[in-house]
A and B are shown apart, each in its own frame.
Chain A
Amino acid sequence: MKLSTKHLLGIKDLTKEDIQLILSTASDFKDVLQRPVKKVPSLRDVTIVNLFYENSTRTRMSFELAEKRLSADTLNFAASSSSAAKGETLLDTVQNILSMKVDMIVMRHSASGAPHFLSKQIDAAIINAGDGINEHPTQALLDAFSMQEKFGSLEGLKVAIIGDIMHSRVALSNIYLLKKMGAEVMVAGPPTLIPKYIKEALNVRVEYNVKNALQWCDVANVLRIQLERQSQPLFSSLREYNLAYGISRKLLDSIGKEITIMHPGPINRGVELDSDVADGSNSIILNQVENGVAVRMAALYLLRPQNN
């Protein structure tokens, strides 16, 4: 079984069959991760570089763990402590790394389209671990995996993505994936944080009132306020954001139905999500993190050099 693409740059380029293949492969790997010996030899002799031009805790560790569980040799790169800080270009850095016989690249970058640029210049398979405000495909896949685990299927599922949609690659990848898999999607948040043309561009519902969004959905995927990506005033204060869009126990109780809570992390507690909701019984936030390793193992396995 093969994917229709050579790289995993975004969900936008995947077919429904690709997504199903990754999810079912992830399911197999999740079984492996329950065993006492969690390591398989699938990527033995494959060298993978984790190229992080932007900070990351969860994603980088999740990828590294996935690589190690697959027996790959791994190499870590952080832009802040490398020659990139001395002004080396992305292309130069990557060509230097590849000349040391590296087979695959996992890459995070603050510029949208950076992995797409790289894919036109080099041969090695690239997995996008987040590019600017564009896509974060493995996050969307692990979100889908977690939802599928809980609900059995994504078909017809009502998912509200709540928060800073404008600056979120998680939102875009999730929207592409959920639409391809037959789920219904709503985005909710302050109008300054929702792209003006999102309804026409991505065929989603738009809601500016968080209570209405919660009343509609089965799953609330709550996004982090991307303070580091906002260079102009888009809302007044975190306090007011919490008042208008924060999800509290009280708010959830007031709508009288069970909603599954998700969050890609890291959480700004007390801003977009109150602690009792984040840690509550309907939260599957830690399942998402757990599933992330299996999903990334699946992506790496399916894009391994021999398979391309």
Chain B
Amino acid sequence: MKLLIKKVLIADKKSPFSGLTKDILVIDGKISLISDEITSPADETIETEGLIISQGWVDVFTDFADPGYEYRESLESGAAAALAGGFSHVFVLPNTKPAIQNKPQVSYIIEKAKQLPVAVYPIGAVSKNLEGKDLAEMYEMQQAGAIAFSDGTHPLQSSGLLLKALQYIIAFDGTIIQVPVDKSIGAFGLMTEGVVSTQLGLPGSPALSETLIIKRDLDLLRYTNSKLHITGISTAESVALIAAAKAEGLSVSCSVTPYHLFFCDEDMVSYDTNLKVTPPLRNRKDMLALREAVIDGTVDCITSHHLPQNWDSKTCEFEYAAQGMIGLQTSFAVVNNLFSDLSTDRLADLFSNNARELFNIPSNNIEVGSEADFTLFTKNGNHVFTKAANKSKSVNSAFFDVPLAGSVVGVYTKGKWNKN
């Protein structure tokens, strides 16, 4: 199969064609020619105004709820959503039933993922049954294909266990992923504590519950000299703490979600259960600090925290509503909408290059001879996410029918071109 891509800007710093606009010819899953103008006939030609190419995008924190909660999502529906959102690689959470906590569970995902259009990597549990008490068999899970380790939506609370886990994974160059939430502070909080929570009469959870655990995790990281990725950071102080730790030379990285960049607590006045997320949406100052951190490079990756919930668990009283939002299909458009001036190189770093580097995913740079593993997208044009276009089994998104910008034209991965 021959795919010809016309006049595409190459957003790949490591490509010899970085920053140039070229024609690219892909034949049977390999980039076979990059040139100013290619006229040879092709099975399909892509020619779109403002077309950009980068390595295939990576999302390091998504919940496909499979096995156990297939009514919310399955590996198949999750992969379809990922593909539509421009992602060729996704990491899936271990918060399944049974939890991904041993080799057979890892193998289940790996085997099933072979049939899927995108690469799906299991994140193995750090603790047995995600209980935060005893270490799970991380070495064997890593051998079987686990990409990283995390208790996912149940962040590790025990300092002692995290210390041991950070030490344990050094032997096989593992990485721990933590959502920064101290569950003992504001344990009954339903949103971030502040002026808005007071006005809404909703129990608050202070930003302190995040910064305190980041401080602790960084101390443990300093002590162990291991690798830690903090995902879903939401406060201005978190950004400052991580920036300082990076400057100090610790192996820490972080990601933010599109919804923490787009919304803040002021958007919760209608008790919209789709905005009930963990960590909670913070105040405007925090949101602006996160945006700044995306621009200045403190943030390494954008991750959707794609967390599907069925209709019933969101169409109910706010207090009883489940946490989380789906996000794979709106991740790029939300970020692109907020940061129209962000360079294409920075976009490629945030959506692909940094995650590949942090989690040792092989690069497939945009150069002749490379395996075709890329995302084609545009920054201009309007994008509206509709229920009809939704590929997830769940509909818990606050971005339906919100005018956004930019679109994913398609993804070439696993030897196949998938046009949106």
Measured in the bound complex, the distance between the Cα atoms of B202 and A135 in whole Å is 10
8 Å CB contact of A198 from B198, B206, B312: B198
A203 to B317, CA, bound (A): 28
- CB of A201 within 8 Å of the partner chain: yes
Q: How far is the CB of B104 from chain A (nearest CB, A)?
A: 34
CA distance A232 to B316 in the complex (A): 26
With A91-B315, A232-B187 known as contacts, the answer to whether A113 contacts B202 (CB < 8 A) is: yes
Does B319 count as interface, using CB distance less than 8 angstroms? yes
8 Å CB contacts to B: which residues of A151-209?
A: 169, 172, 195-198, 200-202
CB of A197 within 8 A of CB of B318, answer no
Q: Is the CB of A134 within 8 A of B200?
A: yes
Residues of B contacting A117 with CB < 8 Å? 271, 273, 316-318
**A112, B315: Cβ atoms closer than 8 Å:** no
Known: A112-B318, A112-B319. A135 touches B198 (CB 8 A): no
| A50 vs chain B, min Cβ distance (A) | 18
The interface residues of chain B lying within 8 Å CB-to-CB of A132 are: 201-202, 319
B200, A111: Cβ atoms closer than 8 Å? no
Find the B residue at minimum CB distance from A134: B201
Chain B residues whose C-beta falls within 8 Å of the C-beta of A12 in the assembled complex: 199
The answer on a CB contact under 8 Å between B201 and A112 is yes
CB pair B198 A195 closer than 8 Å? yes
A134 and B193 in contact, given A91-B315, A113-B317 (Cβ under 8 angstroms): no
Judged by a CB distance under 8 angstroms, whether B93 is at the interface is: no
The chain B residue sitting closest to A195, CB to CB, is: B198
Known contacts A133-B203, A202-B199: A113-B271 contact under CB 8 Å: yes
Give the total of B residues in contact with A, Cβ under 8 Å. Answer: 26
Cβ of A306 < 8 Å from any Cβ of B? no
User: Which chain A residue lies CB-closest to B203?
Assistant: A133
Of the listed residues A113, A169, A197, the one surrounded by the most CB atoms of chain B closer than 10 A to its CB is: A113
Which residues in B have their C-beta under 8 angstroms from that of A169?
A: 201
Do residues A116 and B204 form an inter-chain contact, with CB atoms below 8 A? no
For window 314-332 of B, CB contacts with A under 8 Å fall at 315-320
A219-242 interface bits toward B, Cβ cutoff 8 Å, 1 = contact, 0 = none = 000000000000110000000000
Interface string of A125-143 (1 = CB under 8 A from B): 0000001111100000000
Chain B residue with the shortest CB-CB distance to A171: B201
Determine the chain A residues whose CB is within 8 A of the CB of B194 once the complex forms.
Answer: 197, 201
Q: Which residues of A contact B201 (CB under 8 A)?
A: 112-113, 131-135, 169, 172
Asked if B188 CB lies within 8 Å of chain A CBs, one says yes
Most buried by B among A116, A231, A232: A116
* 1/0 contact string of B180-209 vs chain A (CB within 8 Å): 000000011010011111111111101000
Taking a contact as CB atoms under 8 Å apart, the answer to whether A113 and B200 are in contact is: yes
Which residues of B in the span 24-81 have a Cβ within 8 Å of any Cβ on A?
A: none
Q: How close is A113's CB to chain B, nearest CB, in angstroms?
A: 4
The 8 A CB mask of B283-319 against A (1 = contact, 0 = none) is 0000000000000000000000000000010011111
Shortest CB-to-CB span from A219 to chain B, Å, is 22
Q: Chain A 71-97, CB within 8 Å of chain B: the 1/0 string?
A: 000000000000000000111000000
> B158 contacts the other chain (Cβ, under 8 Å)?
no
CB-CB nearest in chain A for B312: A89
Q: Are A111 and B319 in contact (CB under 8 A)?
A: yes
Bitwise interface map of B from 349 to 373 toward A, beta carbon under 8 Å scored 1, else 0:
0000000000000000000000000
Q: Check B202–A112 contact: CB distance below 8 A.
A: yes
Q: State whether A197 and B198 are in contact (beta carbons under 8 Å apart), knowing that A116-B270, A116-B271, A117-B271 are contacts in the complex.
A: yes
Task: Across the interface, name the chain A residue whose C-beta is closest to B319.
Answer: A111
Max chain A C-beta neighbours (<10 A), residue from B201, B315, B316: B201
Q: Check B200–A195 contact: CB distance below 8 A.
A: no
Check B198 against A111 for contact (C-beta < 8 Å). no
- Give the chain B neighbours of A231 by CB distance below 8 A: 188
Other-chain residue from A113, A172, A198, A232 in contact with B319 (beta carbon distance below 8 A): A113
A111 touches B320 (CB 8 A): yes
**What are 8 inter-chain pairs, A to B, with CB distance below 8 A?**
A112-B200, A112-B201, A117-B316, A117-B317, A132-B201, A195-B197, A196-B204, A197-B194
Interface residues of A (CB under 8 A from B): 12, 89-91, 109-114, 116-117, 120-121, 131-135, 169, 172, 195-198, 200-202, 231-232
Given known contacts A112-B200, A135-B201, what 14 new A-B pairs fall within 8 Å (CB)? Answer: A111-B317, A111-B320, A112-B190, A112-B201, A117-B271, A133-B202, A195-B204, A196-B193, A197-B194, A197-B204, A201-B195, A201-B198, A202-B198, A232-B188
